[in-house]
Amino acid sequence: MDRLVHPDLKDVSLAAALHALADPVRLEIVSRLVACPCLNASTACTDGTPKSTISNHLNVLRAAGLVETRIEGRERINRLRCVDFDARFPGLLATVLANKA
């Protein structure tokens, strides 16, 4: 099992960041990560969305620098990279989350 890759935020474009957030399932995952800062993929699952789809969505979030994934036994714990993301895109995540409610 190779190490999970987490990008440097300076390599993430604004368009890529917005694209990552521009999906209902991913928005839901992100809000859940705010509420519960350590979430595995199953818990992140929204209703009936299949796990392969969730896996892809988490890849997108990770590639956008929004989520960090740590392997813990047989599960992957996901965490928002709030500080890194906010340093790169000040206010963006907070504004999006405020508008999501």
Site of interaction with a copy of itself (CB under 8 A): 13-16, 18-19, 21-24, 27, 89-92, 95-96, 98-100
Residue 66 phi/psi, 5° resolution? -90, -30
Compute the distance between CA of residue 68 and CA of residue 56 in angstroms, rounded to an integer.
14
- Amino acid residing at 79: R
* Cβ 12 to DNA shortest distance, Å: 15
Q: What is the DSSP code (8-state) at residue 7?
A: -
What are the residues binding DNA (CB under 7 A)? 1, 19, 23, 25, 40-42, 49-60, 69, 73-76
* Cβ 4 to a copy of itself shortest distance, Å: 24
